[in-house]
Structure 1
Amino acid sequence: MQKLRLVFAGTPAAAVPSLTRLAASGHDVVAVVTRPAAPLGRKRVLTPSPVAAAAEQLGIHVIEAARLDADATGRIRALRPDLGVIVAYGGLVREPLLSTPAHGWINLHFSLLPAWRGAAPVQHAIIAGDAETGASVFRLGPELDAGDVYGELRRPIAPDETAGHLLETLADSGAELLDEVVDAIANGSAVARPQVGDPTFAPKLGIDDARLDWSLPATRVHDRFRGVTPEPGAWTTVDGQRLKLLDVVEAPDAAPLAVGEIAASGRRVLVGTGTHPLELRRVQPAGRTAMDAGDWWRGAGRTRAVAG
């Protein structure tokens, strides 16, 4: 098998398992391209991306680039890569960079393409109530996530699974798939097939997308909660104050409540939806730390409230 010179582009924690796996393969990761360090936390400390931190530990040269412009293209071209590999970098690869590696670029995407092309495939799959998802490795082209697919894996979505947990598991299993595709390209056995079916799209989610609409059926409200957890983070308002929702489950056995009505039933804190209630288990009031929903409710001395 030919030993390939790889350039790896990625930024978040979900890309780290792929980088680690490729670094341990028989190929040579000659550089990592990642977005620049960003201010994080209350103190806004300038922090390297998870991929940058992993690359430093692995002793791999890091190229920080906010976008893959002419400067980044020149630095990558100087490395004479055989193959570009991208996993959640956070920017588009265009010509002439697209054609710079001898074998082009491949992308690990966390959906069953052509379903959920875009920046937030895992989140949108859960919000939509999909029963199954997976990961695809495809040949990068000029159109968004539209290239021919080298391989995919499938897995069911558990009823209470959040986007954070699902992405973590797909990052691990997807890294194995990616490694297999890179080896297949190296030995000449890789076959890429056109995507089949009508595409759906998964744009990046903002904080407004994370607000729960209690008038919807309970399952749809719960799906949105799962899809926006942990990022951007589900929330509602109570008495005009934002309340972040950290753990929410369906409560089909509970007595009905009016839409948005919050009430305690024994040790449970329940919220009414368009069908049966949801149970709040863990919350974070504005300006406070995370706590059990029962402690929040009792501490406020409420008997009834309305979520909006």
Structure 2
Amino acid sequence: DDTAGSLGGRMAVVGAPLLVESIQAYAADERAPVEQDHGRATYAPKITTDDARITWASSASEIRNKVRGLHPAPGAWTTLRGKRVKLLSVEPWTGPEATAGELAEHAGMLVAGTGRGLLRIAELQLEGKRATTGEEARRGLRLASDERFE
């Protein structure tokens, strides 16, 4: 259940001592630098705002992984009522079927339909607001029966 942020933090804890060890070995002439094979090098393109937008036709699993992979920055987002909503935490959910992007309440939870399966919206941040649980947002939004993430 790691996010990009939590994984980065764990990697820093493990990697920092290795970096110190490598620098010390290099400084003591115990290690020689090795140039990378530029022919095998790959480049990761910059993640754009459009890349971070959720496509609700994707499966619940794909959307969950996108949310985890883009948290905390730049953050996966969608829109509701014409305003941006950042999804901070989601999880697959079992319940009545819903169409892609359709919002519903199930067992007191805020859920959204996807191309395959449901997602519980555990935590989100409405544009200009603080982060909140999906349940708090559901109560505050007073969703109509046909509301959907766009």
Give the TM interval when normalised to the shorter protein.
0.7 to 0.9
Opposite residue 6 of structure 2, the aligned amino acid is H
Cα shift at 1:198: 5.0
Which residue pairs with 2:9 in the alignment?
168
1:206 to 33, 48, 58: 48
Aligned counterpart, 1:249? 91
The amino acid that maps onto 2:61 is: T
1:273-305 residue CA offsets vs partner (Å, 9 max, x unmatched): 111111101111122222111111122211431
Superimposed CA distance per residue, residues 91-117 of structure 1 (whole angstroms, 9 cap, x where no aligned partner):
xxxxxxxxxxxxxxxxxxxxxxxxxxx
Residue 280 (structure 1) aligned with residue 118 (structure 2): no
Q: Does the residue aligned with 1:188 lie in a helix, a strand or coil?
A: coil
The structure with the larger Rg is 1
Task: Give the structure 1 partner of residue 60 of structure 2.
Answer: 218
The structural deviation recorded for 1:214 is 1.1
Amino acid at match of 2:138: W
Q: 1:302 aligns with which of 138, 143, 150?
A: 143
Name 2:72's counterpart in structure 1.
Answer: 230
Report the secondary structure of 1:306's partner residue.
coil
Summarize deviations over 1:182-216 as a string: whole Å, max 9, x none: 12212322253755995443222233222111111
For the pair 1:258 / 2:99, whether they are aligned, the reply is yes
Match of 1:78 in 2: none
Aligned CA distance change for structure 1 residues 223 and 198 (closer, same or farther; 3 Å): farther
3-state DSSP of counterpart to 2:96: coil
Q: How does 1:179-194 map to 2 (within 5 A)?
A: 179-191=20-32, 192=34, 194=36
5+ unaligned residues in a row in structure 1: which ranges?
Answer: 1-159
Matched-pair identity in % = 34
Return the structure number with greater relative CO, CA threshold 8 A, min gap 6: 2
TM-score normalised by length of structure 1: 0.44
Q: Structure 2: how far apart are the matches of 1:200 and 1:259?
A: 34
In structure 2, give the amino acid aligned to 1:220.
E
Task: Report the alpha carbon displacement of residue 306 of structure 1 after superposing the two structures with TM.
Answer: 1.0
Q: Give the superposition deviation at 1:173.
A: 1.5
Deviation (angstroms), 1:237: 0.6
Q: For the aligned residues, what is the CA RMSD?
A: 2.1
What letter corresponds to residue 62 of structure 2 in structure 1? R
| Distance in 2 of aligned mates of 1:307 and 1:231 | 20
Counting matched residue pairs gives: 148
